Each structure stands twice: as C-alpha cells, then as structure tokens.
Structure 1
C-alpha cells in the first residue's frame, strides 16, 4: 500500500492519502513506482482508520514493487509513539528476547494494541510508502531515509541517524570495512561501514557481497570520514542491515 500516489501517468501531480476527498474514491490513481502500472484507489476514507492507497487485484503491482499490500500498514502501528533516533539507536544494540507476537493484545480482551515500528524493515517500508517530503510523527521522511527521491535534501553530505539505500562497491579485510555508494544530487557519495568485531564483519560482508546486485539498506549514525564526500558509521548489530531484492 502507499500513503501517496500520482494523479497522472507522467507522475507529475501527487496526492497524499490525508488529502484525499470523497470524490476521489472511484478515481484510478498511479503507483509511485514508475515501473509499476498498478491501478491505485483510496481506501478507508470513511472509517476511523487512516486513509491509504491500494491496488485492485485485477490491476495489481509489478513483482518487487515496494508499494504492495505486504508493505507498511499504517493502522497496525502507533505513529505517535515512534521516535526515529531512538529506534535507530536500538538497532545498534544486541537483540533481547522477543515476544512471539509483534503486535501485543490487551490482556483478556483480544484487542490489538498497536506499537511503534521498530525494525529496520518496518522503518524502511514506512518511509518508502510516504512521499519524501511528507511527515511521520512530525519527522520529514527524507530526513529519515536517503534514497533517490530525497537526494536533493543532502547537498552538503549526510550527518546523523539515517537509513540509506546503498549499492556495493568494495570491502577491506585489513580495515574491516565495507564501502558502498549511495544516491546523491549530482555528486557521488561513498559510505564506509566500519566494524569493531571481526566475526560480525565476515558475516555481514558475506551477506552484502552475495547481494551486491541488490539494494543494501544500512541504518546508522553517519559522520564525516575525513575524506571528501565520504561518510562512515559503526556497525554493531545485524539489525542495522536489510537487503531489498
């Protein structure tokens, strides 16, 4: 599903889900993915749930499209409880014992109690479902995820907590580093992922290398490396990595 669509096939005129009106209910809109010809329609406009856009089964999404129904579902999560920096900081820590239910229920009621998104894939999916200039709990989407859409927001580099869509470049076993390339607005930014633990480096490097033809999503606190247009982060947990195939 998507939290925005386009009114035209050229993808020039956007419509955000929160701005949709009753008269829009029967109108076919266009998927944000230019390679996808799914017929998008507004959903949940009259209910208490948040409005969103979904595709009809007869004109569904292309395989691999990030705006399918398997993506972000806004009504299953607590937007007001989401704190971006805290969520990314948590990704750098070792996993604790998880409960079997990702979305807990109120004891004895069977009622679903939504909780904030917290995994890298949930956060990435949320960001992709929104327009990069939109907000999620007051935070600009493009200031959470650097991708081709939001590259214009980073004319002077990338600093602070971010998720970044990256492509493989090379690795250094001696330095325990993986170098990747990310989107930029007319510039080439290099992102260095540094490891303090050799075993973790070997494990992640194997995953990244085997998926070098796919998008590699890394969450971290990015800083200047001291080299021009090159930024770095410390990798401490497997939770900081996702592969988008």
Structure 2
C-alpha cells in the first residue's frame, strides 16, 4: 500500500491519498518506484475516512517493491492521533519481553476496532515508507523520522536525535569485536553517512553481528538516538535491544 502516487509515468505530478477525490477512483496512478509499472488506484474502506493507493492484481508491483505487498501498512489499522515518534523509539530500546503479533493489532490488516499506534520498528518503518518523505504523520514530517535515499537531503548538517535509519553494511569490515561496534553506511549522490552501533552487551553484539552478516546484501534498519561520534559525517547510538533492528529484503 502507498499513501502517495503519481499522476504521470514520468513521476513529476505527485498526489497524496488524502487529496484524491471519489471521482478519481477510476483513474490509474503510477507507483512511486520508477522501476515498478504497477497500475495503482485510490482505495477507500466503507465507513473509514483514511484512503490509500493499491495495485490491481493484473498489473501488480514488482518483487520487493516497497509500495507493494511487502509493505503491510494500512492506515485504517492504526491510531495516528496517539502516535508519538520519540516515545515509540525510546520503547524499542528497552530490553524486555518481545512484542508478539498477538500483542500488536493491525499487523496483518485486520481492521481492529481498538487500533493502536505503530509500535514495532517494522510497523513504523512501513508507515514511513508508505508516505512521501515530505508528508506528515500526526504532525511529524516523515523524512524527520526515517533517513533513507528519499530523505537524506533533509540532513545537510547531520543526523541527531531519535531517528530510524535505512543503511547497509560498511565494507570491507562492518564490525569491530574489540570495541563491540557495528558500522553501517547510508549514501546517495554527493552524501555519505556512517552510523556506528555501540554495544554494552557482548552477547547482544555477537547476535546482531551474525544477523547482519547473514543478511549483508539487504537493508539494515535501526532505530536509535543518534549523536556525533566526533568524526565528520559519522554518527553513533547505543544499541540496547533487538527491537531496534529490522532486516529488509
């Protein structure tokens, strides 16, 4: 699902789902992913105000398109008004009982009447990817929650405070066993940032290192409170819980 799409194949005219009118239901829109030729249409659920763009089965999304089936965010399954980004990320850093799907209504688009805000890193990440980076969710700009290849231009002076970052392993070596550190890198044309995960627990360090190594060709998504490392364009956070990490194929 996507909360925005384009009116033209060149992707020059953007339209947000909330701005699409009922008369637009028969209009075909274009996936934000330039490599994907999915035929997207505005969707509404009867009795629910939130709308979104979805593709038809005969002209669906390409594999692993971030706006396709792999993104399970449905705005009608979550309570936007109670979402507080900083508090949500703070909760992810707190070790404790892992959150299960039973404890997280809306994970599979069940339309739960008692909707809660996005809580897990995957839910928050999917919400951010579904929206345009210049759009907002409960008053907070998407690009100020998630740093990815769309929003990196919003960080000309660096990455500070609570953020989710989408990155990949730094090559050729992404970890330092002596310092218990893992290095990730996010880059786009003309800009490159390094993110260092600092661990207090050797057991957690080894576990996360192995997870990232086995998925080193995938995106690593990390939630944290970032600060300067003292080196230009290098930022660090303390990694305290597995809930801070998601691997995106």
TM-score (norm 2): 0.92
- Contact 2:98/2:243, CA 8 A, preserved across alignment: no
- Matched position secondary structure for 2:58: helix
Offset from partner CA, 1:44-75 (integer Å, 9 cap, x none)? 17743301100001111111111124520100
Task: Work out the CA distance in 1 between the residues paired with 2:14 and 2:232.
Answer: 35
Q: For structure 1, which segment, 68-77 or 161-170, has the greater mean C-alpha deviation from structure 2 after superposition?
A: 68-77
Q: CA RMSD in A?
A: 1.8
Distance in structure 2 (CA, Å) of the matches to 1:185 and 1:57: 35
Cα 1:229–1:11 change in 2 (3 A) is same
2:105 aligns with: 103
Confirm or deny that 1:238 pairs with 2:229: no
- Kept after mapping to 2: 8 A contact 1:6/1:29: yes
1:228 is matched with which residue?
A: 232
- Answering whether residue 67 of structure 2 is matched by residue 63 of structure 1, we say no
Tell me how far apart the structure 2 counterparts of residues 230 and 185 of structure 1 sit (CA, whole Å). Answer: 17
Whole-angstrom CA distance in 1 between matches of 2:37 and 2:217: 24
Mapped partners of 2:46, 2:120: distance in 1: 30
2:92 corresponds in structure 1 to 91
**Cα distance in 1 between the residues matched to 2:192 and 2:104:** 38
Structure 1 residue 208 and structure 2 residue 209: aligned? no
Give the Cα–Cα distance (whole angstroms) in 2 for the partners of residues 86 and 244 of structure 1.
23
- Whether contact under 8 Å (1:103, 1:112) holds in the other structure is no
Q: For 1:46 and 1:186, locate their aligned partners in 2 and report how far apart those are by CA, in whole Å.
A: 46
> Aligned ranges for residues 1-245 of structure 1 at < 5 Å?
1-44=1-44, 47-69=47-69, 70-96=71-97, 100-103=102-105, 112-169=113-170, 170-184=174-188, 186-245=190-249
CA contact (8 A) 2:48 2:76 kept: no
Q: Which moved more, 1:37-46 or 1:139-148?
A: 37-46
Structure 2 segments unaligned to the other structure (5+ residues): 107-111
Equivalences, count: 240
- Report the CA distance shift for 1:163/1:52 in structure 2 as closer, same or farther (over 3 A): same
Aligned residue number for residue 109 of structure 2 = none
Per-residue deviation, 1:210:
1.2
Using the TM superposition, give the Cα deviation of residue 184 of structure 1 relative to its aligned residue in structure 2, in angstroms.
Answer: 5.0
The alignment partner of 1:80 has SS state of: helix
SS at match of 1:132: coil
Structure 1 CA distance for aligned equivalents of residues 225 and 156 of structure 2: 18
Q: Give 1:22 deviation, angstroms.
A: 2.2
Residue segments in structure 1 that go unaligned for 5+ positions in a row: 105-110
CA distance in 1, matches of 2:23, 2:113: 31
TM-fit CA distance, 1:8 = 1.0
C-alpha distance 75-145 of structure 1, shift in aligned 2 (>3 A)? same
SS, match of residue 81 in structure 2: coil
The residue that corresponds to 1:107 in the other structure is none
